[in-house]
Amino acid sequence: GAGVSQTPSNKVTEKGKYVELRCDPISGHTALYWYRQSLGQGPEFLIYFQGTGAADDSGLPNDRFFAVRPEGSVSTLKIQRTERGDSAVYLCASSLTLTGAGTNNEQFFGPGTRLTVL
């Protein structure tokens, strides 16, 4: 079946502009995560959705970053007034949220969107 997809694969923008990054999770996955990966670093958690609601947005760096998931499937990460320091690969992941002993709910990652702010 189809994996997690993200669009666009690359986005180049100018400082101060607004950008939207899209994530299509695996069908049936209720949990959706956004991470940011800077060059040479591991992914850094930004926000997690359970269904339509943001269950944990503690990783968002500041109020220029916002994410939505209005129908509990596709999610959009929105960045206002972009800065050069926002340049990174933005990764989306999705997982099931089964409960019970032995359930690990593996996170499946998308290919990422490489954002470059000039």
Choice between 10 and 80, CB closer to other proteins: 10
Contact 82, 23 (CB under 8 A): no
Phi, psi of 85 (to 5 degrees): -70, -10
Residue 56 CB, shortest distance to other proteins, in Å, is: 5
Residue 109 CB, shortest distance to other proteins, in Å, is: 4
Choice between 73 and 107, CB closer to other proteins: 107
Phi, psi of 86 (to 5 degrees): -80, -10
Choice between 42 and 70, CB closer to other proteins: 42
**How far is 93 from 103, CA to CA, in rounded Å?**
17
Residue 81 CB, shortest distance to other proteins, in Å, is: 26
**How far is 31 from 70, CA to CA, in rounded Å?**
13
Choice between 34 and 82, CB closer to other proteins: 34
Give the residues lining the site for other proteins (CB under 8 A).
Answer: 4, 31, 33, 35, 40-45, 48, 50, 55-56, 59, 91, 95, 97-99, 102-112
**How far is 95 from 104, CA to CA, in rounded Å?**
9
Residue 46: enclosing H or E segment and its boundaries? Answer: strand 44-50
Residue 19 CB, shortest distance to other proteins, in Å, is: 20
